[in-house]
Amino acid sequence: MATVYFYEKPGCVNNSRQKQLLEEAGHQVIAKNLLTESWQAEQLRAFFGELPIAEWFNYSAPAIKYGEVHPEQLTERQALSLMVTNPLLIRRPLMQVGETRMAGFDQQKVAVWIGLANSQTEADLQTCSRTPASLACHHD
């Protein structure tokens, strides 16, 4: 199976569930803190592939929720600059296997890419849950 470098926000409930799915499928998960990584724009850009710029963002980030950042109005350069200085803006998780990278956790895409166990969940693992237990996903 694959070794997955998994850039997460520690304490995020959905990131924990995503890692569990990967491990259940037999993958080795090497978790890294997305918020403390020393990102460079070109390094970060590689995770987004062909995604539209607006899909690079974590819409639970306070700067977006409070209208300070409008992802749909940004150029690639502006988006990357903002993310390098404020990693909370980055869509999670970022994953890397070998030289291939991905942003977000679309279960079907991950299954095609590296494989997932048959125990895939119907739960939304991309949007940060709004339950009190997971407030750490939103406001840190």
| Active-site annotation holds for 12 | yes
**What are the phi and psi torsion angles at 65 (to 5°)?**
-60, -35
The DSSP-derived string for 90-138 is B-S-EEEETTEEEES--HHHHHHHT---TT---S--SSPP-SGGGHHHH
Task: Choose the catalytic residue: 12, 44, 114, 128.
Answer: 12
The C-alpha atoms of residue 54 and residue 2 are separated, in whole angstroms, by 29
The answer for 45, left when phi > 0, alpha when psi is -120 to 50, beta otherwise, is alpha
Taking a C-beta distance cutoff of 8 angstroms, is the pair 95, 5 a contact? yes
Residues marked active site are found at 12
